[in-house]
Amino acid sequence: MDELLRDFLTETHESLDNVDSELVRFEQEPNNTEILANIFRLVHTIKGTCGFLNLPRLEALTHAAESLMSRFRDGMPVSHDAVSLILATLDRIKNILDGLEKHQGEPAGTDDDLIAQLDAMAQAGNRSQVSGTLTYQVLERPLKPGEATLDELERAFRDTPGPEPVSHKPDDRKSSERSDAKVASQSIRVNVETLEHLMTMVSELVLTRNQLMELARRQAETEFKVPLQRLSHVTAELQEGVMKTRMQPIGNAWQKLPRLVRDLSVELGKQIELEMLGADTELDRQVLDLMKDPLTHMVRNSADHGIETPVERRAAGKPERGTIRLTARHEGGHIVIEVSDDGRGLDRSKIAAKVLKSGLATEAEVAKMSESQLQRFIFARGMSTAESVTNVSGRGVGMDVVQNNIDQIGGTIEVKSVPGQGTVFTIKIPLTLAIVSALIVEAAGERFALPQVAVMELVRVRAHGEHRVERIKDTPVLRLRNKLLPLIFLRKYLRLGEAAEQETENGFVVVTQVGAECFGIIVDRVFHTEEIVVKPLASKLRHIHAFSGNTILGDGSVIMILDPNGIAAAFGSVRNGAITLETVADSEKNFAERNKTALLIFRAGSNAPRAVPVSLVTRLEEIDVGSIETTGGRHVVQYRGHLMPLICPGENVRIRESGSQPLLVFSDGERSMALVVDQIVDIVEEEFEIDPSDGRPGVLGSAIVKGEATDILDVGHYLPLAYTGWFGSSTSQKSKRHLLLVDDSAFFRNMLVPVLRAAGYTVTTAASGHEAFGMIRSGRNFDVIVTDLQMPGMDGLALARALRAENASAQIPLIALSAMTTPDMIERVRRAGFHDFVAKFDRQGLIAAIKEQTDTVTSQAA
Amino acid sequence: MTNALHSGSAEYVTVTVGSQLFGLPIARVQDVFVLNQITRVPLAPDDIAGVINLRGRIVTVIDLARRLGITGSSSRAHLAVGLEIDKESYGLVIDAVGEVLKLGADTAEAAPANLDERLRHVAAGVHRLDDRLLVVLDVDRLIDLKPMEIAA
C-alpha cells in the first residue's frame, strides 16, 4: 500500500473515533465552540487530504459535511436531526475508508443521497438564521447614582481592548496545523510490532538478570555483586519503561461507547446517560484489546435490558433518564472495571425459566439457589434473558462470551443485581499479561508455576494434623472454616509418578479461586513467588488445558504455568460452587425429586455389594480399631464428645481386629450412630429401578447397580437398634394412629414407611393423588395424611383441595412434603388447606409435625 | 522440498535414530544442541519429550524415535536438531548427527509403499546411498502431525 495512503488511513481512523464521541458531547453542549472546532478541523483535514490523494467520493462528502458544520459555527442552532445526519455521514466516510484499506481505492457507489440532505439542511439553516430574536431591554426605573445605562456598558465592553477574536476563516487552518505539529514533535508513531519486540527483548533481559542473580546468590562474596545490583535496578527500570509504552488509557476502549449509547437510546426510545469515570486508567494494550468487545457488549446489554423506558421509569418513581456508569481504577496489581446501571435489575424468574429450559438445573435445584447463585447463570452458554431478539442485543453473543474473554486474560467477573435498582458487573483483570507474579509449587519432584492472582491462601495438611485431607469415597475434601473445599491432587491430575503414590497425605493445599468457585490443589511443596515472563505454549501443547503457558525460571530451567481455569474444569459438576456442609442437607431434600439417586456402595459381611442413599449418610469415617470400646455387649466409640454406638448391619459383619475400621455415620441432631462396614466401594449416581423388599429385615429393596444386584439398606431399621428412642417419644404410650402416606416414588415410600412405623403409626400408602382420594371416598379413615406435592396427575395441591371439598375429609390434618421451600410455595400450600409443610428428608421435622397435628386433633376431640 | 528431490540436487543434514539414517533439508535446520535439564510436560502426547531452555528460547522437544515408532534408539539420547516452524522452536531428539550430503535426483526415489505408516507419512522420499538408505523427512509434516493420528 502507498505509504501516504496508509498514513492517511491510520490518522483518519483515529480522528474519526474521536469525532464520534465529540459529536455526542456536541449535541448536549451545542455551544461548546471547542468541540465544534475539533470536529470541523477533522472534516476539513480529510477533505484537504482527499483532494491530494485523488479520492473524489470522500472529497465531495466531506465538503458537504463541512458546509453544514460551518453553518453551526456561524451560529445555526444544532438540532438533533443535524447531529444524526452528521453521524450518518461519518459512518459513510468510515465505510469508504474500509474499502480504501481493502482495495486501495474508493469503493464504487454514490453519496448523492447524503450530500443532498446535508446541503438541504445547510440551506434551511441559512433561512432560519435570518429569523433571530431580539430582546428589547429596558430598565423600568430611573438610574440610581453610580449605575450606568446599558448602552454605556455596552460601549465600555466594545471599546476595551480584548484578545484577538479567534478566527475560523481559512487562516485558521494554519494555526490548527501549527498546534498539531507541536504535538506531533512530542510524540512519534511506533509500530506495534517494534514495541512487542522490545517487550520480548526486555523479557529476555529480565530472565538473564534473574539467572545472574541466582548465580551470585550462591557465592558468598564476589566482586560482581555491586555491578549486578546496578544491572538489576536498571533492568527493572527498563522493564517498567517498556511496559509503560504498552500501556494505554482504558478510555481508548470506551471511545465508541458514547456513540453506541446515543444510537441505542434513539433506537430503543429510552433516555440514557453514559457516565465514564477513570478513563485515563492505563492498562496493557493486549489486555485492552481483549476487553473492548466485552465492554461494548455489556454496555449494550445494560442499555437494552437494564434501563427501562421513560414511562416504566416514571412509574417506578425513578428519573426518566437512566444512567449507565463505567468506572475503572487501579487496585493492587489489578484493574477493576465496573459497568453499572440503575435499571430494572436481573429478573430472577426469567433467569430461572431460562435455566430450566436449557436444562442447566432442575426446578428443585433452582428453587434452593440463592439470588447470586442464580444470577451467575447469566454467564452460562446459551443464556439470554431478553424476551425478544432485538436489533440491539440477542445476536447470539451472550455473557458467556464476555466471561470467556475475561477468563482468557486471567480476569474475573462478578454480578450483583437488585431488582428495580439496577445491576453492577465488576470485572477484575490483571494489568498486564506478559509478566505475572506466580507461586512456584512442586508435585512429584516437578515444579510448576501457579499465577498468584488465583491463589487465596495456603493450608498445610498433615495426616494427623489440624488440617487433614478427608475423603468421601475417592473424592478428597478439606474442612476449611465450616466449608468443605473440594480438593485435587496435582500429582494425580497431571498423572505424575506411580499411581500408588499419587495421593500423599502430607503437603500443602493451595486454595484457589476461579470466578466464584473455590477449590484446593494439593502439592508436595511450596517455594517462593517469582515474577515470571509468560511465554505462550508451543501449538503442539496448546491442547493441554492444565497449562496456560510456560516460563524460564531464574535458574534457567523451563517450567509449566498451571491454568487455574483448566484445573477448575476438571472438577466438573462441582463447578457450581463449593460444597458446603449445608448442601449435604440440601441435597437430601432434592434427592427424591430427581430421578437420579446417588447411592453409596459398600460391602459388609459378604462380597455382595450393598447400598445406602448417600443423602442419608452424614459422614464417612475411619477409626482406629483400638478406640472401640465395649459396654453392655455393645460396641461404642468416642465421637465428638459423645459415645457413638456401632451397629453391624447383618450377622456376618464383624468389627476388624486391627488397623482402621470404616464406618458410615448417621446423625440426627446431637445423636450419632455408625454402621460397621468392611469396605466402601463407590458412589454411583444413576437412575435406579428399585424392586421392593422381599421382606428381609433391614433391606428396603434391591437394584442393579453397575451390573450387580445390590441390596439397599433400610437405615430406618438400624437406627432404633442404636437408640430405642431414636424417633422421638416411645411408641407404646399412645394408641396407634393411622397415617396415609401419598408419594409417587416407590423408593421414597419404602424408605419413609419404616421410619413412620418405628415412630408408632399404622401406615397405609398411596402411589398417587387419585388413589389417595379414592381411599377417602370409599370411607377409609385416617388420622393424618402426609403427601408429596409433586406428583403426576393429581398433585398434592389438587388432592388437598379435593379433600377439603369433601365433608368427610375436610378436617383431616394434611401435611405437605416438598423439596421446594420457597415462601411463595409455602403460601400456596397453606392456601390449598395444608396444616403443615415439611421439607422432604427432614425426618425429625416430619415426625414432629405429625405428632403435633395428631395431638391437636386429640385435644380437640377431648 | 519434494521438488528438490527430483530436480537438481539438495543438501541434507544427516542424522541417525536407532539404525536408520535420515536427511533433513539443510535450510530448515537451525542448529544441533545438547539436551540437558529437560522439563517433562505432564499430560502431553507420548512423543513430546519435554521442553528446554535454549539460550532464552523455550524449545519443545519431540522424541523422533517414538514419533516414528523406531525401536533400538539409545535410551540416553541427548542430542537434538533444532527447527523453526511458524516462529515456534522445536527440537528432534536424535542419536547422532552425521555429515552434510549433497544428493541429486539420480539417487532419489519415492518412499516405498510398504513403509511403516508413521514413517511414510513424513517421508518426502528415499535416497539410495552406496551402503545404506537415507529417508528424507518432511519437516512440516513431522511437526504438524496431530497426536491422535499417531495413536491410530
pLDDT digits (tens, 9 = 90+) for B77-116: 689 999 988 778 999 999 999 989 988 888 888 888 888 8
Q: Which of B43, B53, B58 sits opposite A544 (nearest CB)?
A: B43
Across the interface, do A539 and B88 touch by the CB < 8 Å criterion? yes
CB B54 within 8 A of CB B84: no
* A586-722 is a CATH 2.40.30.20 domain: no
pLDDT digits (tens, 9 = 90+) for A473-521: 778 888 887 788 889 999 988 988 766 666 667 889 999 887 667 889 9
* A556 in reach of chain B (CB within 8 A): yes
> What number is the average pLDDT over the span A209-216?
79
Residues of chain A neighbouring B56 (CB-CB closer than 8 A): 204, 207-208, 552
Residue A835 has pLDDT above 80, yes or no: yes
Q: Output A576 or A613, whichever has higher pLDDT.
A: A613
**For the domain bounded by A737-861, which CATH number is listed?**
3.40.50.2300
What is the per-residue pLDDT for A527?
86
* pTM across the whole model: 0.45
The ipTM assigned to this model is: 0.85
Q: Output A815 or A371, whichever has higher pLDDT.
A: A815
Residues of chain A neighbouring B51 (CB-CB closer than 8 A): 538, 541, 550, 558, 560
CB A379 within 8 A of CB A402: yes
- Mean of pLDDT over chain B: 83
* A494 in reach of chain B (CB within 8 A): yes
Judged by DSSP in three states, A760 sits in: coil
φ and ψ at residue A399, rounded to 5 degrees: -65, -20
Residue A795 has pLDDT above 70, yes or no: yes
Q: Output A178 or A237, whichever has higher pLDDT.
A: A237
* A192-245 is a CATH 1.10.287 domain: yes
Q: Output A693 or A610, whichever has higher pLDDT.
A: A610
B18-50 residues labelled b (16+ CB within 10 A) or e (exposed): bebbbbbbeebbeebbebeebbebbbbbebbbb
Architecture of domain B2-151: Beta Barrel (2.40)
Interface of B with A in 11-50 (CB under 8 A): 37, 39-45, 48
pLDDT band at A670; cut points 50, 70, 90: low
Q: Which long-range contacts (CB under 8 A, 24 or more apart) does A699-702 make?
A: A700/A747, A700/A750, A700/A751, A700/A754, A701/A747, A701/A750
Please give the share of chain A, as a percent, with pLDDT higher than 90. Answer: 6
State how far the Cα of A692 lies from the Cα of A750, in Å rounded to an integer: 7
Handedness of CA B145, B146, B151, B152 (dihedral sign): negative
pLDDT digits (tens, 9 = 90+) for A399-458: 777 887 787 777 788 888 888 888 999 998 877 666 777 899 999 889 999 988 788 888
**For the domain bounded by A1-127, which CATH number is listed?**
1.20.120.160
- Mean of pLDDT over chain A: 76
A201: nearest CA in chain B? B56
Residues of chain B neighbouring A204 (CB-CB closer than 8 A): 56
pLDDT tens-place values along chain B, 152 residues long: 444 444 567 899 999 998 889 999 999 999 999 888 899 999 998 889 999 988 778 899 999 888 888 877 666 668 999 998 877 899 999 999 998 998 888 888 888 888 888 888 888 889 988 888 999 999 888 887 454 444 33
DSSP A812-860: S-EEEEES---HHHHHHHHHTT-SEEEETT-HHHHHHHHHHHHHHHHHH
Q: Which of A446, A443, A460, A461 is nearest to A505 (CA)?
A: A461
What is the per-residue pLDDT for A595?
43
CB atoms within 10 A of CB B117: 10
**For the domain bounded by A250-430, which CATH number is listed?**
3.30.565.10
Where in chain B are the domains?
A: 2-151
Residues of chain A neighbouring B90 (CB-CB closer than 8 A): 538, 540
* B58 in reach of chain A (CB within 8 A): yes
State how far the Cα of A380 lies from the Cα of A357, in Å rounded to an integer: 13
Handedness of CA A472, A478, A481, A485 (dihedral sign): negative
pLDDT digits (tens, 9 = 90+) for A124-148: 765 544 444 444 445 556 666 566 6
Q: Output A143 or A88, whichever has higher pLDDT.
A: A88
State how far the Cα of A522 lies from the Cα of A510, in Å rounded to an integer: 6
Q: Which of A703, A728, A723 is nearest to A713 (CA)?
A: A703
Q: Which of A208, A494, A557 sits opposite B39 (nearest CB)?
A: A557
Across the interface, do A538 and B60 touch by the CB < 8 Å criterion? yes
Where in chain A are the domains?
A: 1-127, 192-245, 250-430, 438-576, 586-722, 737-861
Could you tell me whether strands A455-461 and A435-443 are parallel, antiparallel, or unpaired per DSSP bridges? unpaired
A708-720 residues labelled b (16+ CB within 10 A) or e (exposed): eebbbbbbbbbbb
Q: Which of A207, A495, A550 sits opposite B51 (nearest CB)?
A: A550
Interface of A with B in 81-100 (CB under 8 A): none
State how far the Cα of A529 lies from the Cα of A439, in Å rounded to an integer: 4
Q: Which of A128, A91, A98, A133 is nearest to A113 (CA)?
A: A91
State how far the Cα of A702 lies from the Cα of A693, in Å rounded to an integer: 7
Which of the following CATH numbers is that of domain A438-576: 3.30.43.10, 2.40.50.180, 2.40.320.10, 3.40.50.970?
A: 2.40.50.180
Across the interface, do A539 and B90 touch by the CB < 8 Å criterion? no
Q: For residue A542, give how far its alpha carbon lies from the nearest alpha carbon of chain B (Å).
A: 9
Q: Which residue has the cell 478406640?
A: A627
Across the interface, do A540 and B53 touch by the CB < 8 Å criterion? no
What is the per-residue pLDDT for A327?
93
Give all strands (DSSP E) within A677-795, no chain letters.
679-687, 691-692, 699-705, 708-713, 737-742, 761-766, 784-788
Looking at the DSSP assignment, which residues form a beta bridge with residue A425? Answer: A339, A415
* A446 in reach of chain B (CB within 8 A): yes
State how far the Cα of A150 lies from the Cα of A133, in Å rounded to an integer: 18
Across the interface, do A558 and B90 touch by the CB < 8 Å criterion? no
Q: Which three cell numbers stand for residue B53?
A: 531452555
Q: For residue A550, give how far its alpha carbon lies from the nearest alpha carbon of chain B (Å).
A: 8
Looking at the DSSP assignment, which residues form a beta bridge with residue A283? Answer: A248
Distance (Å) of CA A825 to CA A568, A797, A842, A853: 35, 11, 17, 20
* A546 in reach of chain B (CB within 8 A): yes
